[in-house]
C-alpha cells in the first residue's frame, strides 16, 4: 500500500475493511504483486532447468513450472476444486500402491471381494 503513495496517517484513518481490500489488491491482484513475481521466478528457474544439457529427455518431459512456484494456486480455489484435487490425489496414491504389487495377486484380491459381495 505504501507503493501506491499512501502515507502512514492516511492508512491509519481508513476503515479496516478498506485497509484489507487494498492489502488484498496489492498482494494478489496487482501486476507487481508477489504472485506475479513468483510466477516470473518459477518460469525463469524452469527455463534454466529445461535448458540444462545434462538432463535426459524423460526428465525434461516431467518438468513442470508449478513445481517451482512458492505461492500455490490453492489460495483462490473453491471448496469443490479443493475436494476434486484431493480425490485425484487419492486415486493417484491408490494406483501407486497397486503398482507395487503383482497384478496376479491384485486379481485374486478383486475376485475374492466380488465373491464376498455376491454371497452377501
CB-based contacts of 14, cutoff 8 Å, min separation 6: 22
117 domain residue, yes or no:
yes
Residue 74 has pLDDT above 70, yes or no: no
- The per-residue b/e assignment along 3-25, b for 16 or more CB within 10 angstroms, e otherwise, is eeeeeeeeeeeeeeeeeeebeee
DSSP conformational letter for 100: T
The domain containing residue 115 runs over which residues?
Answer: 77-120
C-alpha pair distances (Å), 2 with each of 18, 31, 52, 66, 111 = 14, 16, 40, 30, 66
53 domain residue, yes or no:
no
Give me the percent of the chain exceeding a pLDDT of 90. 22
36 domain residue, yes or no:
no
Total domain count, the chain:
1
9 domain residue, yes or no:
no
Region of poorest pLDDT, from 2-6, 12-16, 18-22, 98-102? 2-6
**What tens digit of pLDDT does each residue of 19-71 get?**
888 888 877 776 666 777 888 899 999 999 989 999 898 988 888 888 888 87
40 domain residue, yes or no:
no
Residue 102 has pLDDT above 50, yes or no: yes
33 domain residue, yes or no:
no
95 domain residue, yes or no:
yes
Amino acid at each position: 500500500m505504501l507503493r501506491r503513495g499512501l502515507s502512514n496517517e492516511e492508512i491509519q484513518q481508513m476503515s479496516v475493511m478498506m485497509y484489507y481490500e487494498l492489502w488484498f489488491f496489492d498482494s494478489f491482484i496487482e501486476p507487481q504483486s508477489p504472485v506475479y513475481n513468483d510466477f516470473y521466478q518459477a518460469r525463469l528457474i524452469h527455463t534454466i532447468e529445461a535448458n540444462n544439457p545434462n538432463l535426459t529427455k524423460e526428465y525434461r518431459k516431467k518438468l513442470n513450472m508449478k513445481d517451482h512456484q512458492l505461492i500455490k494456486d490453492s489460495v483462490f480455489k473453491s471448496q469443490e476444486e479443493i475436494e476434486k484435487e484431493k480425490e485425484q490425489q487419492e486415486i493417484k496414491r491408490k494406483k501407486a500402491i497397486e503398482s507395487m504389487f503383482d497384478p496376479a495377486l491384485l486379481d485374486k484380491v478383486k475376485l475374492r471381494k466380488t465373491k464376498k459381495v455376491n454371497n452377501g
